[in-house]
Structure 1
Amino acid sequence: MDALHWWRQGDAVTQGAALVLLAMSVASWVVIVWKLRLMRQAVTDVARCTAAFWQAPSMDLAAQRLQSFDRSALVLPLVIAANSIASPAVQDIPASLATAGSLSQRLTRVLRDALHDVLGRLQFGQVLLATVGSTAPFVGLLGTVWGIYHALTAMAGAGQITIDRVSGPVGEALVMTAAGLAVAIPAVLAYNVFGRLIGRIEADLEGFARDLRELLIDTAPVQSLAGSTEGLGNASRPAAGPSQDGPAPLGSVGA
């Protein structure tokens, strides 16, 4: 069966269903290829970035190292968000609801927002794959049912129905069902595989964000205690002032 012949024999509904399936197939394969590259980078980058972060001597050097390792920008946004709260320069920011609360609360808020942004980029395209996988078979079935109805109506008008006249149009109509399944199966498989990978990456990022939050909370009291100890040391020193001489010798009084 020639595809051009099948296209000419179909009516507007059949051709419309075929175009919808073609658009679904192109869109799903574009997303599959793009997400396959993204997932491959993400799995590698998260492992490398977390190892490089914990080996860095300070937060600033860790952020500099992550710029060369984090190609997908998955771990670096978390570090930047946490550093913006834990940095001493944040004390110069005017008071507002964004800066209200304890250090633990502010770190939780900014890390949660940064994590949602990262996961939103990883989840991009999943809705499209799920939609294509669930609706493409029904679009193909619609084309099949309409094609069979159209073929039977045409044969009924001819006045003579034989198996040869029925098998050809019905077989052509069943092509739409096969096309719908061919579009849906790759989308469903890709959705499940990518969903599993995203779940693994999400667990790693949540664990890193939790460890980063605890690190900054634990180190904050140590820094403040060091500052207060330095202040106490300065306060214990005698204040500089004019020296007071002791009582004058008795001989000088007589003079």
Structure 2
Amino acid sequence: MFTQIMAAAAPAAGNNPYGLMEALEQGGVIAWTVFIILVGMSVGTFFILFTKLIEQQKVINQGKKVRGTFWRATSLKEGSAKLEKNSAYKQLVDDGILAQEHHNKLTDPVEAHDWMHASLARSEAAINSRLGGGLAFLATVGATSPFIGLFGTVVGIYRALIKIGASGQASIDAVAGPVGEALIMTALGLVVAVPAVLAFNFLQRRNKSIAEDLSGFNNDLLGYMVSNGAVRPVVAAAPVAAAKPVAAKA
């Protein structure tokens, strides 16, 4: 008899009536809506994180190649041809060449330095703006997802209070479901918010480092252009392979 009772109770004990899916089913449309919004925010956060990391790494690698190849060229056009197509640094060089050509066509005299500086600054700002794309979404997710989860929490507590009022007593079985749903929504909001804030700060720091490199290259490029190539950064000479010793003939 005891064995039969334990066997009958085992399946019931294995079923958790307070899990995530059970809480969503109890919460109804509001709980499912909050859950779907938070999941969408989380997916968008990780998508932006990985795509921005790839984009930033490409620009960082381009900056390393610029230091080794561009400044060894004899002219801007030759240096531009050595740069990777559609790279941020190539865009700066091409915009600088275009600004130089347009300056020669101006009928109203404008200082070459001011004209070049404005053109390069505009190009640099466009690149930085493109690198910052998507970060506003991360900031929004980090700021709003806890409140979206809190909305689900408030609804869950409200449902618990309704059950208490309807039953006339605050029994555990009456309020455990709605309170569990409320706590799950709070946890989901925090789970979505924390990665978004960390990703935003991490990507923002990398963008700042890239912007500093672009600004330095921009200044070097401006000095090169307004001095007709006389001013350029010092580039370390390429390493020369050591000559192999010649074996002495007998």
> With structure 1 as the length reference, what TM-score do the two structures score?
0.77
Q: Deviations along 1:59-86, whole A, 9 cap, x unmatched? A: 1110000135xx6x21111101111133
- CA distance in structure 2 between the partners assigned to 1:178 and 1:162 by the alignment: 24
Report if aligned partners of 2:70, 2:83 keep a CA contact under 8 Å in 1: yes
1:220 offset after TM fit, Å?
7.6
| Deviation (angstroms), 1:124 | 0.4
Percent of paired sites with the same residue: 33
Give runs of aligned pairs for residues 167-178 of structure 1, distance below 5 A.
167-178=176-187
Amino acid at match of 2:49: I
Query: Aligned in 2, Cα 1:13/1:28: closer, same or farther, shift over 3 Å?
Result: same
Q: Once the 2 structures are TM-superposed, how far is the Cα of residue 167 of structure 1 from its aligned partner?
A: 3.1
1:61 aligns with 2:70: no
Check conservation: 1:50, 1:75, Cα contact below 8 A.
no
Change (3 A) 1:33 1:220: closer
When you count helix as a share of all residues, which structure comes out higher? 1
**1: CA distance between counterparts of 2:67 and 2:135?**
26
Runs of 4 or more, structure 1, over 3 Å off, are: 1-4, 93-96
Post-superposition offset of 1:44: 1.5
* Residue pairs, 1:18-29, within 5 angstroms: 18-29=35-46
* Superposition map of 1:183-198 within 5 A: 183-198=192-207
Q: Provide the C-alpha distance between the structure 2 equivalents of 1:7 and 1:50, rounded to a whole number of angstroms.
A: 56
Q: Shift in Å at residue 146 of structure 1?
A: 1.3
Separation in 1 of the partners of 2:203 and 2:106? 43
Q: Is the 8 A contact 2:62 2:84 kept in 1?
A: no
Runs of at least 5 residues in structure 1 that lack an aligned partner in the other structure = 223-255
* Number of residue pairs the alignment of both structures matches: 214
One-letter amino acid of the counterpart of residue 96, structure 2: A
User: How far apart, CA to CA, are the structure 2 residues paired with 1:122 and 1:3?
Assistant: 38
Are the equivalent residues in 2 in contact too, given 1:50–1:208 (CA < 8 A)? Answer: no
Alignment partner, residue 133 of structure 1: 142
Q: Alpha-carbon deviation of 1:94?
A: 5.9
Q: Which runs of 5+ in 2 are unaligned?
A: 1-17, 232-250
CA RMSD of aligned residues (A): 2.2
Q: How is 1:1-255 mapped onto 2 (pairs within 5 angstroms)?
A: 1-67=18-84, 73-87=87-101, 91=104, 93=105, 95=107, 100-219=109-228
Native 8 Å contact 2:103 2:112 kept in 1: no
User: What SS does the corresponding residue of 2:84 show, helix, strand or coil?
Assistant: helix
